Amino acid sequence: MLGPDVAWYLAVAGFLFGTGALGVLLRRNPLIVLLSLEIMLNGGNLALIGYSRHLGRGGGQIFALSVMAVAASEVVVGLGLVVALNRRRVPLDVDRLNSLRG
Amino acid sequence: MPTLLICLPLGAALVIWALPLNRVSAGSLAVLAALAEVGVWIQMLARFHFSRGGLQFPGHRNWFRDLHVSYHVGVYAFSVWLVGLTVVVMAACIAYAFWAGRDRTRAYFGLMLFLDAAIVGVFVAQDLLLFYAFFEAMLIPLYVLVGVWGGPGRIAATLKFVIYTMAGSLLMLAAVIVYGLQKGTFDLTTIGTSGSNWLFLGFAAAFAIKAPLFPLHGWLPDAYRESPPEVAAVLSGIVSKAATYGFLRIAIVKFPGPTHVLRTPILVLAAIGLVYGSLLAFRAPDLRGVVAYSSLAQMGLITFGVFAVNDLGLNGAVLQMVNHGLISATLFLLAGMVERRTTTGELTRIGGLARGRPALATMLMTTGIIALAVPLSSAFAGEFLILAGVFRRGWGWAAVGAVAIVLAAMYMLRLISAVLHRETGPSVTDAALDLRPAELGVTVPLVACLLALSAWPAAISGHSFAHHISTRSGWTSYGPMKSP
Amino acid sequence: MIPGAWICLLSPLAGALAITLAGTRLSRRGAAYLSTLSCFVAFGGALASFAGSLGEKPHERHHLSTAWTWIQGGSYKSGLEVLVDPLSVMMMLIVSGVGALIVAYSIGYMDSDDEERRYFAYMSLFVFSMLLLVQGGNLILLLAGWGMVGLSSYLLIGFWHERPSAVAAAKKAFVMNAVGDATMALAFFLTIQKTGTLSFGALNALHGHSGWVVNLVALGLLGGAVAKSAQLPLQTWLPDAMEGPTPVSALIHAATMVTAGVYLIVRTHAAFELAPKVQDLAAGLGAATLLLAGLIALVQVDIKRVIAYSTMSQIGYMFLGAGLGAYANSMFHLMTHAFFKALLFMAAGIVIHALAGEQDMRRMGGMRALMPRTYWAFLVGALALVGVPPFAGFFSKDSILAAAMGHGWYGYILWIAGLVGAFLTGVYTFRMLFMVFWGEPSAFAREHFHTLKRDVPGLALEIPVVVLAVLSVIGGWLQFAPTWHPVATWLDTVAAPLVSPTNWQEAVSSVLAVVLGLAGIGLAWLLYAAPRRRPIPRTAFWQRTLEHKFYFDELYDTLFYVPSSFVARALGFVVERPLILGGSTELGTETREVGGLFARLQTGLLRTYALAIASSLAVLAIVFVAVKCRPF
């Protein structure tokens, strides 16, 4: 097999996933949260593809394709929500969007 | 035939709910159904063999075959009398409601008939799960009846009543499930006895709340005060008897060991309830309060009889169940009639109602005097048997009972003179007429039953248990232990 | 004879039912006649039973007739049975005979009352109850009659129920009687436990049981007797019971109800003889009561109350006799007492009726001139009461006193008490007579007096009084202790006396009693009727104590009513409120709070939810892997 060992792919994927997770948990702007979510998803994708190449099976790559489709639709919905929030002059701050609290 | 007794009012209820009848037709149909029910019961009574022990008129259908749960109904001698009490009191209450008029008539009478069926079901069920189902089914119509047609504080009263009772019933459900699964069957006629104190307590909790037994009576005063008079009559007259029936049929028969161990605490609670209820009845400020607390006291007395576990006590308890059912139903109906006329039940605002109202005075006086168990009345016979039975367990219990006799005289006479005698109260006007023929027609049969029982209490007390109950072991030859 | 007994029992009940069911369809006078008729029919039945019994040999005179099984509990059962034996026949005759006369008298007395029908229904019910009591063939029927008598007396005492005092008096009577019922019931439970039955023979079967069992049974029976007969310490209801109409006082408090206690002791004498201490206690209570009542009667100003206290006192004599074992003598005194006490009440009733309802003796006076015939009747009754020969009281009272002499030192104390009582009887009886009938007619009397008319009510008032006056004279001639005692012979098979006084004892007692009685009359004359009246000796302390009836009412109020009222109210606050309100509302708030705790998890913040999802997923994944791969 050419290229780096699967461990490197996993490391990068893990780094991407961690960065994305930190972004989701720590950032306040919903747009940035969505962006971090995307990074997380891509990290996952990378792990899937890396293993697919390592094991020689195509299942991982196909799954990565469906993840990308889902990610795209989710971004559409999420961006739509953010735009709607912005139109209503609601402050774009996740810490302040808590009207569904118990 | 027990199945007919359950299905007849149920069918009538469905008819009333389904068809768009007007007030008069719905009411008359309900009254007719209730009277037909009484007729069926009389038939059953005539064909019942009191000299034979064991279950009679059995009906059986499998329900959950793998769990051995079945639809099993039948009657014993003592259940016959309790079913009779149910149908007679329900007939009187439905007739009174028809005469008094309730809005949303179809809903009301349907619910009353449904209640009738559920209570009869409790008394004839011979399968644990079926018994539980009917026990809970009683609550549904009561919840609606009190919550919709009740007095000003009805919501709180209903909530308290339902939640309290349900808490107990859930404990009973747990006990039912464990007991049934342990023994491999849910059929009451074949299930063996158990020595588990916890199972006994599970059942006892439900029954103690329903009866009620001190100190689990928190729901009682409000529920009895806020319900419509006929529903209060049903609650205190019949529904409470379902609890003591449960004690009799399940708790002491199936758990002889725990009964023996826990007898003293239960007798203590019953004794406290007896005296406590009498004292509070003596100070209650309103008509319904007096009857409600006297109900608490009487249930303590009946529990005394049941937990004496000997022939005197048990026979007395069955007799007193029927007596008290008739008495408190009549008293609540009369209280309702008085409240209709004076818009209030406060004893300080009514008085002198005897003047010019001989029918009301006679009815209230007769019922009140039987209620305080004047010797030669059936209530006296029941009380005497119970106290004689519990005397065998210890003279102290009978001494408490004797104190309660005196207290009963005090509170009942206070009630009678506060309503009938002395100067006319501020809420009594000349528009408050004497009892109408319809009201007499509802209460006179109940009082006539009481008077007939007073002439012949042995009708019930001598015909409740087919065989002599041995006092040592308690249950060697008692009906329910035999196979059907 | 048996049918006679059943007719005697059921006729008044039928009368009461008929009057109740007929309602306003029956005229008031009609109800009165119906009730009187039912009582006379009862008397006829009693006579038939008596005639039948006379024709039998003494040891055969015991018949139990059962209608059906009344109460049954397993192996215990009692039937509705009627007993015909010498004692019950004697009581039947007294109750139905004197009762019929009094009900007839009521035709006149209650003529103007609107509620006459109710009155006569209650009177018939009362006569039925009393007959049930004396005819009951087992202890539970006796208790049934006992309680029904208490009930009927409640109904009759509180007859004028617009008067709060009447209602209160009725309740008091009933509650005190209920206390007696309760003690009797306890005695019966003990009897059932030890002998398994409540027939009269069960008391004989108590022989051989331990001392405390027999003592408790006898004590319970005594409690009931004391309550019903208004003896110490349960005597406070009797004077208040004078709130009822006068014929009610005559029937209940002279002839029948209060004598039930004496009947009970004689009927259950087997139990008492097995517990001699209790029997002595009965005699002692009788003696104490007769003194107490005699003293209190000295200061009463209401004519009916004087007669009431004298009843209490005379019943004390009967208890004394029964407690000593002189059963026949007590029953004989019961009979003569019924005659002259009813007579006194009825004559007083005529006076009250004539003075438009006035009962205060201080406003009466000189009625002798206005109502001569009533005066003579009253005088006959008074002389009979004091025990002056040849009137009825002399023959019956003195033989009881003689019986006391043969009972050791305790008996002598009782004997002296009885003699003092005889003296007091003379004083208070004739005080009453002199105050009401002698002297000049008072201003009040002149103003309000109206004579009796010669119509049915008027005759109804007079004839029974005349009959009773005659009986008060000749009634005592039925037994003259030393030589002729048919009453004792009659009752011998039922209640053989424990003591037979010697002729010497009889003579001493009689002479002393008569002398003291006459001395009492003399003292009363000196104080109330003599031309130069001596001033009445008074001390403030005694005046107060006697007027307050030795403070028994206040004592019972503090001992029982106030504490129970307080406890009831306290329970209401301390226990009931928390139970009703507390428990359930607290349950609701607690549930809400727990729910609130859980609701804090819903912060509304996105990242909390995200963290939750992520961490749970991570945990689940690790667990899944660990379980699947089992690396450890």
A11 touches chain C (CB under 8 A): no
What are B297-347's pLDDT values in tens digits? 999 999 999 998 888 888 899 999 999 999 999 999 999 999 888 888 888
In sequence order, the β-bridge partners of residue B14 are none
The region of weakest confidence among B157-161, C40-44, C140-144, C386-390 is C386-390
Query: Which pLDDT score, from 0 to 100, does residue B95 have?
Result: 94
Could you say which of A94, A95, A102 has the minimum Cβ distance to residue C601? A102
- A97–C604 CB contact, under 8 Å: yes
Report the neighbours of B using a cutoff of 3 or more CB pairs below 8 angstroms: C
Residue C567 with chain B: CB contacts under 8 Å: 279
Question: Where residue B479 falls among pLDDT bands split at 50, 70, 90?
Answer: very low
What are B36-94's pLDDT values in tens digits? 999 999 999 999 888 777 788 888 888 888 878 888 898 988 899 999 999 999 999 99
Q: How far is A85 from chain C (nearest CA, A)?
A: 15
Question: Where residue C397 falls among pLDDT bands split at 50, 70, 90?
Answer: confident
- B392–C193 CB contact, under 8 Å: yes
Question: For C189, which residue in chain B has the nearest alpha carbon?
Answer: B388
Question: Where residue B471 falls among pLDDT bands split at 50, 70, 90?
Answer: very low
Q: What is the mean pLDDT of residues C504-517?
A: 82
- C601–A95 CB contact, under 8 Å: no
Given a cut of 60, whether residue C431 has pLDDT beyond it is yes
Residue C75 with chain B: CB contacts under 8 Å: 311, 468
Given a cut of 80, whether residue B430 has pLDDT beyond it is no
ipTM (interface pTM): 0.85
Q: Give CA B257 to chain center in angstroms.
A: 27
Asked if B119 and B153 touch (Cβ cutoff 8 Å), the reply is no
Question: For B369, which residue in chain C has the nearest alpha carbon?
Answer: C151
Question: Where residue B35 falls among pLDDT bands split at 50, 70, 90?
Answer: very high
A33 touches chain C (CB under 8 A): yes
Q: Give CA C167 to chain center in angstroms.
A: 17
- Cβ burial B430-462 (10 Å sphere, 16+ → b, else e): eebeebeeebbebbbbbbebbeebbebbbbbbb
CA dist list (Å): C184 to B241, B289, C66, C181, C224: 30, 31, 23, 5, 6
Tell me the count of A-C CB pairs closer than 8 A. Answer: 32
C287-C289-C291-C293 Cα dihedral, nearest 10 degrees: -160
- A99–C604 CB contact, under 8 Å: yes
Would you list the domain boundaries of chain A? 6-87
C380-C382-C385-C386 Cα dihedral, nearest 10 degrees: -110
Q: Give pTM, 2 decimals.
A: 0.85
Question: For A40, which residue in chain C has the nearest alpha carbon?
Answer: C614
- C610–A24 CB contact, under 8 Å: yes
Determine the Cα–Cα distance for residues B106 and B94; give it in Å rounded to an integer.
Answer: 12
Query: Which pLDDT score, from 0 to 100, does residue C584 have?
Result: 64
Determine the Cα–Cα distance for residues B36 and B49; give it in Å rounded to an integer.
Answer: 22
Determine the Cα–Cα distance for residues C316 and C262; give it in Å rounded to an integer.
Answer: 9
Question: Where residue C583 falls among pLDDT bands split at 50, 70, 90?
Answer: low
Asked if B370 and B377 touch (Cβ cutoff 8 Å), the reply is yes
More confident of the two residues C30 and C572? C30
CA dist list (Å): C552 to C128, C218, C232, C438, C555: 32, 25, 10, 33, 5
CB atoms within 10 A of CB B52: 12
Residue A94 with chain C: CB contacts under 8 Å: 605-607
Residues of chain A with pLDDT under 50: none
Q: How far is C626 from chain A (nearest CA, A)?
A: 20
Question: Where residue C460 falls among pLDDT bands split at 50, 70, 90?
Answer: confident
Q: What is the mean pLDDT of residues C530-558?
A: 74
Q: Give CA B112 to chain center in angstroms.
A: 15
- A101–C601 CB contact, under 8 Å: no
Given a cut of 80, whether residue B477 has pLDDT beyond it is no
Among candidate residues A14, B376, B183, A43, the one with its CA nearest the CA of residue C130: B376
Would you list the domain boundaries of chain C? 283-535, 548-601, 605-632
Q: How far is B297 from chain C (nearest CA, A)?
A: 14
Given a cut of 70, whether residue B473 has pLDDT beyond it is no
Query: Which pLDDT score, from 0 to 100, does residue C621 have?
Result: 92
**Most confidently modeled of B438-452, C505-519, C588-602?**
B438-452
Q: Which two tokens stand for residue C486?
A: 């048919």
The three-class DSSP label of residue C6 is helix
The residue type found at B158 is T
The region of weakest confidence among C103-117, C234-248, C457-471 is C457-471
Q: Which two tokens stand for residue B364?
A: 């209230």
The region of weakest confidence among B9-23, B182-196, C198-212, C319-333 is C198-212
Determine the Cα–Cα distance for residues C133 and C150; give it in Å rounded to an integer.
Answer: 11
Asked if B350 and B417 touch (Cβ cutoff 8 Å), the reply is no
The residue behind tokens 């005539």 is B46
- A97–C603 CB contact, under 8 Å: no
Q: Apex CA B77: angle with CA B75 and CA B81, to 5°?
A: 90
Could you say which of C599, C607, C611 has the minimum Cβ distance to residue A94? C607
Question: For C155, which residue in chain B has the nearest alpha carbon?
Answer: B365
A47 touches chain C (CB under 8 A): no
Could you say which of B164, B375, B422 has the minimum Cβ distance to residue C161? B422
**Number of residues assigned to chain B:** 484
Element (DSSP H or E) covering residue B59: strand B56-64
Backbone CA torsion sign across C173, C176, C178, C183: negative
Instruction: Note the CATH architecture for domain A6-87.
Output: Orthogonal Bundle (1.10)
Residue B388 with chain C: CB contacts under 8 Å: 73, 76, 188-189, 192-193
CB atoms within 10 A of CB B290: 26
Determine the Cα–Cα distance for residues C225 and C574; give it in Å rounded to an integer.
Answer: 38
Determine the Cα–Cα distance for residues C552 and C537; give it in Å rounded to an integer.
Answer: 24
In sequence order, the β-bridge partners of residue B470 are none
- A95–C604 CB contact, under 8 Å: no
Residue C614 with chain A: CB contacts under 8 Å: 21
Q: Which two tokens stand for residue C622?
A: 């690790």
More confident of the two residues B373 and C629? B373
The DSSP line for C369-393 is: HH-HHHHHHHHHHHHHHHT-TTSHH
Backbone CA torsion sign across C397, C401, C406, C407: positive
The residue type found at B260 is H
Given a cut of 90, whether residue B30 has pLDDT beyond it is yes
DSSP assignment, residue B286? B
Among candidate residues B431, B423, B411, the one with its CA nearest the CA of residue B354: B423
Inter-axis angle of helices B256-283 and B395-420, nearest 10: 30
Asked if B316 and B378 touch (Cβ cutoff 8 Å), the reply is no
More confident of the two residues C111 and B323? B323
A25 touches chain C (CB under 8 A): yes
The three-class DSSP label of residue B62 is strand
- C71–B219 CB contact, under 8 Å: no
Question: For A98, which residue in chain C has the nearest alpha carbon?
Answer: C604
Asked if chain A contacts chain B via 3 or more Cβ pairs within 8 Å, the reply is no
